[in-house]
A and B are shown apart, each in its own frame.
Chain A
Amino acid sequence: MTIKDKNPIDPQAQPTPAIELNQVVHSYSKDSPLCFSKWTVEVGQQVFLYGDSGSGKSTLLNLLSGILAPQQGSIKLFGNDITKFSNRRRDRFRAENIGVVFQQFNLIPYLSVAKNIELAVYLAKSPKQKLSEPILQLMAALKLPNSILNTPVASLSVGQQQRVAIMRAFINSPKLLLIDEPTSALDNNAKQGFVTLLLEMCQTHNTSMVFVSHDTSLEPLFSLHTPITAICNAQTTEEVS
Chain B
Amino acid sequence: MLTSIIWRSLISRRKTVVLTFLSLVVSISVLISVEHIRSQAKESFNRTISGVDLIVGAPSGELNLLLYSIFRMGSPTNNINYDSFTMLKANKSVAWAIPISLGDSHHGFRVMGTNSDYFQYFKYANKKALDLAQGEVFDSPFEAVIGADVAKTLGYKLGDKLVLSHGIGSTSFVHHEQAPFTVSGIIAATGTPVDKTVHVNLAAIEAIHLPPAQLKELVEDPHSHHHPTEKITAVLLGLNNRFATFTLQRHINTYQDDRLMAVLPGVAMTQLWSLMGNIETLLQVIGFLVLLASLFGLATMLLATMNERQKEIAVFRILGASPIFILSLVILEALVISFMALITAFIVVTFLLMGLEGWLTAEYGLFLNQNLFTQDSLNLSLIILGATGVTALVPGIEAYKKALHSQLSG
Contacts and interface: CB of A to CB of B under 8 A. Distances in A.
A binds B: yes
16 contacts: A61-B408, A62-B408, A65-B408, A95-B321, A102-B314, A102-B408, A102-B409, A108-B315, A111-B8, A115-B4, A115-B8, A119-B319, A123-B320, A123-B325, A124-B319, A178-B408
Interface in A66-99: 67, 87-88, 91-92, 94-96
A178 B409 CA distance: 11
A109 B312 contact: yes
Given A111-B8, A115-B4, A119-B5, 12 more contacts: A58-B409, A62-B408, A65-B408, A67-B318, A87-B322, A94-B320, A100-B318, A103-B409, A104-B410, A105-B315, A119-B319, A123-B320
- Determine chain A's interface SS by DSSP, over half rule: helix
Contacts of A198: none
Nearest to A60: B408
A106 B325 CA distance: 18
A108 B409 CA distance: 15
A219 interface: no
Contacts of B320: 91-92, 94-96, 123-124
Nearest to B313: A108
B1 A122 contact: yes
Given A91-B320, A119-B5, A108 B408 contact: no
Nearest to A107: B315
A106 B410 CA distance: 8
Interface in B1-43: 1, 4-5, 8-9, 11-12
A88 B325 CA distance: 11
A212 to B, nearest CB: 9
Contacts of A100: 318, 408
Given A95-B319, A108-B316, A124-B320, A67 B408 contact: yes
Contacts of A96: 320
A62 B406 CA distance: 9
B410 A118 contact: no
- Best-surrounded residue of B8, B325, B409 (most CB of chain A within 10 A): B409
Contacts of A103: 409-410
A18 B5 CA distance: 33
B311 interface: yes
Contacts of A110: 8-9, 11-12
Interface string B318-348: 1111110100000000000000000000000
B319 to A, nearest CB: 5
B407 A105 contact: no
Nearest to A110: B12
A180 B409 contact: yes
Given A108-B5, A108-B312, A110-B9, A123 B410 contact: no
Given A67-B317, A108-B315, A115-B4, A102 B410 contact: yes
A107 B312 CA distance: 8
Contacts of A102: 314, 318, 408-410
A120 interface: yes
